[in-house]
Amino acid sequence: MKQVICINWGDKYGPPFVNRLYAMVARNITPPFSFTCFCDDPSGFRPEVRTFDLPQVDYEIPRTRYGIWPKSRLWGERLGDLEGPVLFLDLDLVITGSLDPFFEVGASDDVILARNQSTPFERLGQTSVFRFPVGGLKPMQDYLASDPQRLAEAHKFEQRFVTRNAPNGISFFPRRWVLHYRQDCTRTFPLNYALAPKLPKDARIVIFPGGVHPPHAIAGHYGPRYAPKAPLEHLRGAFSSDRPERIDKYLRHYLRPAPWVAEHWRE
Render pLDDT for 117-150 as a digit per residue (tens, 0 to 9). 888 889 999 999 999 999 999 999 999 999 999 9
Residue 170 DSSP one-character state: -
Provide the edge-to-edge strand list for the sheet that holds 178-180: 94-95, 205-207, 178-180
Q: Contact 252/243 with Cβ under 8 angstroms?
A: no
Structural domains of the chain sorted by starting position, each given as residue range(s) with its CATH number in brackets = 2-173 (3.90.550.10), 178-264 (no CATH)
Q: Where are the alpha helices (DSSP H) in the chain?
A: 15-27, 138-146, 148-155, 158-165, 214-219, 231-237, 247-252, 259-264
Single out the residue of 255, 169, 251, 168 nearest to residue 218, CA to CA. Answer: 255
Distance of CA 253 to the CA centre of its chain: 21
CA distance 113 to 207: 13
- Exposure of 169 by Cβ count < 10 A (0-12 exposed, 13-18 middle, 19+ buried)? exposed
H or E element in which residue 37 lies: strand 33-39
DSSP string, 10-36: TTSS-HHHHHHHHHHHHHTSPSSEEEE
Bridge partner residues of 33 (DSSP) = 2
Indicate whether 260 pLDDT > 90.
yes
pLDDT digits (tens, 9 = 90+) for 242-253: 899 999 999 999
User: How far apart are alpha carbons 173 and 167 in whole angstroms?
Assistant: 18
Contact 235, 174 (CB under 8 A): no
CA 104, 182, 37, 204 torsion-angle sign: negative
pLDDT digits (tens, 9 = 90+) for 207-220: 999 889 999 999 99
State the DSSP string of 201-225.
TT-SEEE--SS--HHHHHHT-SSTT
β partners of residue 38: 7, 52
Helices 158-165 and 148-155 meet at what angle, rounded to 10? 100
pLDDT single digits (tens) 43-91:
999 999 999 999 999 999 999 888 899 999 999 999 999 999 999 999 9
Reported pTM = 0.95
Measured distance CA(55)–CA(9) in Å, rounded: 11
